[in-house]
Amino acid sequence: MTTSVSAVGPASRAALDALKLDRLRGLVREILPHNEFYAAKLHRLDDPTALVSLDDLADWPFTYKEELVAAGHPGRPANQTWPADRYVRFHQTSGTHGRPLAVLDTAADWRWWMDCWRVILDRGGVGPGDRVLVASSFGPYAGFWSAFEAVLDRGALAMPTGGMTSLARLEAARTLAATVIVATPSYALHLAEVAAEAKIDTVALPVRLVIVAGEPGGSVPATRARLAAAWGADVLDHAGATEVGPWGVGDVRGPGLDVIEPWFHPEFLALDSGRPARPGELAELVLTTLGRSGCPVIRYRTGDVVRPTWATAADVAAGACPWVRLDGGILGRTDDMLVVRGVNIFPGAIDDIVRSFPEIVEYRLTVTTRQSLDVLTLAIEDRLDAPGRVADELKLRLGLRVDVTTVPIGSLPRHEGKARRFVDDREHPRREVDA
């Protein structure tokens, strides 16, 4: 089910931009001068509340995660607007790309999270009568907490599984007849792998929808196809970040993400020049939150690499969603892009190739330096024990020679959260990259 545009926001680009401009002005009026971080960043502007158009944001400074981390303190975010007693939620980022960042939300902020999640659940047709198993140990990260509480808010049955083993989660899914699974793509595939070992037929379960987030896999065609086949279900991609919010939603009909523009204003910086990106051009995603005043982010450099496209006026008039579309979803990260012998490689490209081989259970890619040359080594758990066919496909599609080796099935690490399958060991400290 895909919700009509009218149910989630304005049905034209002009009306959408007017709504966003109004919400941005309201946000700035609300947080200044209380938010010391943004009061300092915006002090050179004549009147930040007097935005004439969204284009005026181009003159505003960017916000970087590094500066939020550096200026913040444990339990007190740098961009905190209100006194501590107004906050009801504490979360923090995973720390995958540096020191964890603390984030606080007020009750009103959390309601905003639910408003964003309402769009995601609408896209999946999730409602009363559904039984939603959230396959996560939760922890301090906002993503799965917000998903769980959005399910409660929707009136569906929410099933927490923190602390459970994978087999116990599968038994819960079978016993309670789960209709929806929420997980990272890697963990959803791992659950299917555990189910096969335990002779549990996941396709026979009543699961009709798998909502995935945390990794690019939900919009990687081969990974998406494997998820759909493993569960006999539709796949819905979603993207968000603890410090930003649940900003992206996919479609059960195919890969890709829409930015939830009524609540987020996106900008796109071309990777090669930093100028505003053209349609279809590789770009870094920059986001401004439009409904979260407790710890807002304005022109936040997400580091996510995307390829934006916009519907034409004719398409929108015919009923297409006016929100910007990210073809292929999140393609990678600016700090995770591997440049190997002059070729730019994103984790999603490797994932799409490897996942196209159904006999491969898990994999890990390592980049090292040998006699001053970059060397790619791919370790695969392969039921056919035939690495040559994978090496040939990588050579064909990437134009690079990759040393492919097989390892025993079950020997590579599994991850409940963000998978780390890419290791850069080239003459500098070891770095692991999210898949």
* CA Rg value for the chain: 22
CA–CA separation, 351 vs 222, rounded Å? 8
Do 201 and 210 touch, CB atoms closer than 8 A?
Answer: no
Do 328 and 342 sit in the same domain of this protein? no
CA–CA separation, 180 vs 182, rounded Å? 7
Report the percentage of the chain scoring pLDDT > 90.
67
CA–CA separation, 242 vs 20, rounded Å? 21
Q: CA geometry: angle at 94 spanning 68 and 346, to 5°?
A: 95
Residue 46, Cβ neighbours under 10 Å: how many? 5
Q: CA geometry: angle at 88 spanning 120 and 244, to 5°?
A: 40
Report the percentage of the chain scoring pLDDT > 70.
91
Do 219 and 364 sit in the same domain of this protein? no
Do 316 and 386 sit in the same domain of this protein? no
Two structure tokens written together for 344: 């730019």
DSSP 181-197: EEE-HHHHHHHHHHHHH
DSSP 12-71: SHHHHHHHHHHHHHHHHHHHTTT-HHHHHHTTTSS-GGG--SGGGGGGSPPB-HHHHHHH
CATH of the domain at 196: 3.40.50.12780
- Residue 96 confidence class, pLDDT cut points 50, 70, 90: low
Mean pLDDT across 117-129? 97
Of the three residues 286, 314, 332, the one that is the final residue of a domain is 332
Two structure tokens written together for 273: 């020049």
Of the three residues 332, 349, 372, the one that is the final residue of a domain is 332
Look at residue 268 in the predicted model and tell me its pLDDT.
98
Do 113 and 150 touch, CB atoms closer than 8 A?
Answer: yes
Do 317 and 374 sit in the same domain of this protein? no
Do 151 and 207 sit in the same domain of this protein? yes
Range of the structural domain that residue 359 is part of:
338-434
Two structure tokens written together for 40: 């300092």
CA–CA separation, 6 vs 405, rounded Å? 52
Burial classification of residue 337, based on how many CB atoms lie within 10 Å of its CB (0-12 exposed, 13-18 middle, 19 or more buried): middle
- CA-nearest of 260, 237, 131 to 185 is 237
Do 260 and 390 sit in the same domain of this protein? no
The CA–CA distances, whole Å, from 202 to 121, 196, 235, 330 equal 22, 8, 14, 28
Of the three residues 267, 299, 332, the one that is the final residue of a domain is 332
List pLDDT tens digits, range 282-315. 999 999 999 999 999 999 999 999 999 999 988 8
Highest mean pLDDT among 92-96, 181-185, 263-267: 263-267
Q: Letter for the amino acid at 133?
A: L
Look at residue 229 in the predicted model and tell me its pLDDT.
96
**H or E element that contains 146:** helix 142-154
CA–CA separation, 285 vs 124, rounded Å? 24
Look at residue 317 in the predicted model and tell me its pLDDT.
86
Do 386 and 400 sit in the same domain of this protein? yes
Distance between alpha carbon 118 and the CA centroid of its chain, in Å?
17
CATH of the domain at 367: 3.30.300.30
Residue 4, pLDDT above cutoff 50: no
- CA-nearest of 167, 255, 169 to 212 is 255
Do 346 and 233 sit in the same domain of this protein? no
pTM for the model stands at 0.82
> Which strands form 360-370's sheet, in the order they lie side by side?
402-406, 373-382, 360-370, 420-424, 431-434
| Domains of the chain: total | 2
Do 266 and 378 sit in the same domain of this protein? no
**Phi and psi dihedrals of 75, rounded to 5?**
85, -10
Q: SS3 for 407?
A: coil
Comparing 265 with 401, which gets the higher pLDDT?
Answer: 265
Lowest mean pLDDT, pick from 206-210, 266-270, 351-355, 372-376 = 372-376
Do 390 and 255 sit in the same domain of this protein? no
Do 181 and 266 sit in the same domain of this protein? yes
For residue 308, say if its preceding peptide bond is cis, omega within 30 degrees of 0. no
List pLDDT tens digits, range 236-285. 999 999 999 999 999 999 999 999 999 999 999 999 889 999 999 999 99
CA–CA separation, 235 vs 372, rounded Å? 43
Do 409 and 383 sit in the same domain of this protein? yes
